[in-house]
Amino acid sequence: MTRENTHTVAATAQEDWDARAAAFDDEPDHGLRDPEVRAAWADRLRAWLPEHPADVLDLGCGTGSLSLLAVGQGHRVTGVDRSPAMAERARTKLAGHTATILCGDAAAPPVGEERFDAVLVRHVLWALPDPAAALRHWRTLLRPGGRFVLVEGVWGTVSPVGIPSGRLVALLEPLVRQVRVEQLSGHSRLWGKEVDDERYAVVATV
């Protein structure tokens, strides 16, 4: 097993997302309650998502903070989370907006024949048992010209968890026409604090 795979499997086994739901939004980059942090993510999302109103699939949407930004920018959002507690919070946050929140596995989202202009995933791919298989499946959910917007990282130094950008790009390259990586570690407004671990976004067009 490679070092990256070790991190991914360990993370999946440890997390109880239902238990974390109530306090999840207390982290600045989760709840986006601080107007500066929220504006920083809104700016990035505007640059990463299509310019025109689009169908966005937010996988592992958590409490729906990025989904809410996306609908605020005119997009139609379908959010999927396996944790009922997270999904319920997302439903509450998105009530009254053009959004649907489903409870299900991000690796095989319960979206039937629906296709999307963007698959948006923040801090989720690293926790899936088989990221390569998930990416291949998500590729089939994208319309021609659609894009992946993947925000991932490697957190911590003693027992790091996550997926390094080089590995993610290597997994994506066979599936897409173009891949762009943005390093996000140096942008403290996104995190509400200084960070020195690896944080990045990948925007990949099919």
What is the contact surface with ligand SAM in residues (CB under 6 A)? 17, 30, 60-62, 65-66, 80-83, 86, 105-107, 122-124, 127-128
Q: Which is nearer to ligand SAM, 50 or 104 (CB)?
A: 104
Q: Among candidates 100, 103, 126, 128, which has minimal Cα distance to 114?
A: 100
Q: How far is the CB of 63 from ligand SAM (least distance, A)?
A: 6
Q: How far is the CB of 17 from ligand SAM (least distance, A)?
A: 3
Q: 195 to each of 56, 97, 151, 183, how far by Cα in Å?
A: 28, 33, 15, 12
Q: How far is the CB of 59 from ligand SAM (least distance, A)?
A: 7
Record the tokens describing residue 127, joined without a space: 């926790």
For ligand SAM, which residue has the nearest CB? 62
Q: How far is the CB of 169 from ligand SAM (least distance, A)?
A: 20
What contacts 152, CB < 8 A, 6 or more positions away? Answer: 121, 122, 123, 125, 126, 162, 163, 165, 168, 199, 200, 201, 202
How many whole angstroms from its chain centre is CA 74? 18
Q: Among candidates 81, 76, 51, 47, which has minimal Cα distance to 64?
A: 81
Q: Which is nearer to ligand SAM, 35 or 144 (CB)?
A: 35
How many C-beta neighbours within 10 Å does residue 163 have?
24
Q: How far is the CB of 80 from ligand SAM (least distance, A)?
A: 6
How many C-beta neighbours within 10 Å does residue 103 have?
17
Q: Which is nearer to ligand SAM, 97 or 177 (CB)?
A: 97
Q: Which is nearer to ligand SAM, 167 or 199 (CB)?
A: 199
Q: Which is nearer to ligand SAM, 107 or 179 (CB)?
A: 107
